[in-house]
């Protein structure tokens, strides 16, 4: 079955350090991949997507993600974490007209 | 421009009761979706619609019904509430095809006792 996996339930990072939130995919063909963020008691917000083209995708709030076909990964990165980045992050892929989400990774940034 | 609005924000139901979760978007989006979010499980798609009069099942449709009579509104109906339907429900919408970003509402927290 096609899926995305987020291997870490939680990632802890100090403010100012680089952060990575991991996502691997098992999707046939050319995958359409997404990252969304959810702040407490809020709906999800779109961060970025990979459809085709450049493997490095830049998104909102200084986030970027690198599509790596050989490693079937689409990790979310940011060079310098902020406390305000603390949230729940979801990787997703497009299946037909529908998004299929991973289980999510909690990011905690400590000052 | 309010985006996607959902009502109510919170609701407690007794087993067997019925209710409708309301969702409205003012962005003239064709696509609308209903998800449920359970802890540690991500979001699961319940139903979706690609336009007025057209709906289709998602991953977890059992126990729910939807209708789409207008572009703006996409209500979700629970007919006989069960404790397994305790969850947070999100409505979302997007323009055009599925690879456009989805805009989410603030959610409805439903508890069935």
pLDDT in tens, B21-42: 999 999 999 999 999 999 878 8
Tens digits of pLDDT across chain A (111 residues):
889 999 999 999 999 999 999 999 998 888 999 999 999 888 999 999 999 888 999 999 999 999 999 999 999 999 999 999 999 999 999 988 889 999 999 999 999
CA distance B14 to chain A (A): 24
Sign of torsion over alpha carbons A22, A28, A31, A33: negative
Contacts B4 to A, Cβ<8 Å: 43
- Is B105 in contact with A43 (Cβ distance < 8 A)? yes
- What is the overall mean pLDDT for chain B? 94
Within 8 A by CB and 6+ apart from A31, the residues are A25, A50, A74, A93, A94
Q: How far apart are CA A79 and CA A77, in angstroms?
A: 7
Decide: B103 and B27 in contact? Cβ < 8 Å.
Answer: yes
Distance from CA of A102 to the nearest CA of B (A): 6
Q: Mapping DSSP to helix (H, G, I), strand (E, B) and coil, where does residue B98 land? A: coil
- Phi, psi dihedrals of residue B77, rounded to the nearest 5°: -110, 130
- What is the C-alpha to C-alpha distance for residues A5 and B69, in angstroms, rounded to an integer? 36
Weakest mean pLDDT among A24-33, B19-28, B47-56, B95-104: B95-104
Say if B99 is an interface residue toward chain A (CB within 8 Å).
yes
């Amino acid at each position: 079955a096609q899926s995305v996996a987020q291997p870490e339930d939680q990632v802890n990072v100090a403010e100012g350090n680089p952060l990575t939130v991991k996502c691997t995919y098992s999707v046939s063909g050319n995958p359409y991949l997404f990252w969304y963020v959810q702040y407490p008691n809020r709906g999800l917000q779109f961060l970025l997507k990979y459809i085709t083209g450049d493997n490095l995708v830049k998104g909102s709030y200084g986030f970027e993600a690198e599509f790596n076909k050989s490693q079937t990964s689409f990790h979310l990165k940011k060079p310098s974490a902020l406390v305000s980045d603390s949230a729940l992050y979801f990787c997703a892929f497009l299946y037909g007209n529908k998004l299929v989400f991973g289980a999510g990774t909690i990011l905690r940034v400590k000052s | 421009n309010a985006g996607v609005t959902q009502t109510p924000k919170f609701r407690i139901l007794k087993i067997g009761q019925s209710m409708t979760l309301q969702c409205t978007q003012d962005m003239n989006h064709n696509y609308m979706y209903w998800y449920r979010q359970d802890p540690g499980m991500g979001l699961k798609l319940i139903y979706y619609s690609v336009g007025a009069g057209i709906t289709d099942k998602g991953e977890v449709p059992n126990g729910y019904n939807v209708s789409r009579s207008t572009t703006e509104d996409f209500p979700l109906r629970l007919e006989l509430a069960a404790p397994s339907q305790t969850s947070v429900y999100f409505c979302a919408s997007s323009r055009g095809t599925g690879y456009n970003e989805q805009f989410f509402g603030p959610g409805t927290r439903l508890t069935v006792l």
